[in-house]
Amino acid sequence: MTAGWIEQNNSLYRKFEFANFLEAFGFMTKVAQIAEEQDHHPDWSNSWNVVEINLCSHDKGRTVTARDHRLAESINSMLKESAS
């Protein structure tokens, strides 16, 4: 399992909380760039400082695949780099 993510309802799920809306939106922008590079796009929502992401492979019957874990790991890596 990818650290910080849980598998539920045929997707990988993680909730992220930030100091404010601008930080949350900046995070979403970085994730969007990673997702575009991997050609694998998340289902997500944003409410002020909270971003919730669900990852599943729509083309594989909305199930969790290696592509989902790869994107989750890339998001985790981006967060670690940003924190450094």
pLDDT digits (tens, 9 = 90+) for 45-68: 999 999 999 999 988 999 999 999
- pLDDT > 90: percent of the chain: 90
Largest CA distance in the chain: 37
β-strands 11-17, 6-8 pairing: antiparallel
Q: pTM of the prediction?
A: 0.93
* Residue 49 near residue 17 (C-beta atoms within 8 A): yes
All domains in the chain, ordered by first residue = 6-83 (3.30.1360.20)
38 pLDDT higher than 80:
yes
1 pLDDT higher than 80:
no
73 pLDDT higher than 90:
yes
